[in-house]
Amino acid sequence: MKRLAVYCGSASPADRRFVRLAREVGATLASQGIGVVYGGGRLGLMGALAEGALDAGGEVTGVIPEALVSRELANPDCTELVVVNTMHERKAAFTRLSDGFLVLPGGVGTMGELWEAVSWAQLGYHAKPVGVLNAFGFYDGLLAFNRHMAETGFVRPQHQGIILAEVELDLLLRRMRAHEPVTPITAMNPGTL
């Protein structure tokens, strides 16, 4: 893995553990020679992630829609800042520029990015690992709901392992490196759908 798209919040929660976590993740990725591809913002967890990676000598590629650049939310310190027109172009760029997806705590935008990465893996639009760092139990409910979707038959058995979740970053990165792509829906026999 040379680059990971890292999805996380642009907010700065009152609980500073989340901001420290993002900064530590950025520094750890840089120390392992993994470039960061992220939303290009300078605020919240996004800004802390980029700062941690840059301070550790890492490569940081920001991908941000023009509408957010014009509101002065872009991070000018990125190694490279890619400006796109729409959020759809942003998500496509994340997929194109990265070797996998790492999800940190975040809000609605982060959830949209996570579920799109999972959906695209199911459909065969990419064959990259999707890792969720479940720090502080933040994603316990989401992971339980994902299990519930699988148990009720809304996630095929072949796709139940798309989300790789761990509470420790090093273990999650090991699992992501060992990732085996799933059989996408487009390659499945219609009788098994």
Q: Write the DSSP symbol of residue 68.
A: H
Mean pLDDT of the chain: 95
- Nearest Cα to 118, choosing from 142, 137, 89, 152? 142
- What average pLDDT does this structure show over 33-50? 97
Q: Is 161 left (phi over 0), alpha (psi -120 to 50) or beta?
A: alpha
- Strands 80-84 and 60-65, by their bridges, are parallel
| Residues 135-165: tens digit of each pLDDT | 999 999 999 999 999 999 999 999 999 999 9
| Number of Cβ atoms within 10 Å of the Cβ of 181 | 12
CA R_g for the chain: 16
Q: What is the pLDDT of residue 172?
A: 98
Is-contact 101 80, C-beta < 8 A?
no
- What average pLDDT does this structure show over 59-75? 91
Residue written as token pair 């800004």 = 47
Q: What is the pLDDT of residue 24?
A: 98
| Residues 103-116: tens digit of each pLDDT | 999 999 999 999 99
What is the C-alpha separation between 65 and 138, in angstroms, rounded?
A: 27
Q: Specify the pTM.
A: 0.95
Q: Does domain 3-192 have CATH number 3.40.50.450?
A: yes
What is the C-alpha separation between 34 and 116, in angstroms, rounded?
A: 22
Contacts of 155 (CB under 8 A, 6+ apart): 146, 149
- Nearest Cα to 185, choosing from 162, 163, 158, 164? 158
Per-residue pLDDT for 191 more than 70?
no
- What average pLDDT does this structure show over 77-105? 96
Reported as a pLDDT band with limits 50, 70 and 90, residue 71 is confident
Q: What is the pLDDT of residue 187?
A: 83
Q: What is the pLDDT of residue 70?
A: 78
| Number of Cβ atoms within 10 Å of the Cβ of 178 | 9
Cα four-point dihedral sign 50, 53, 56, 60: negative
Structural domain boundaries of the chain?
A: 3-192
- What average pLDDT does this structure show over 12-37? 97
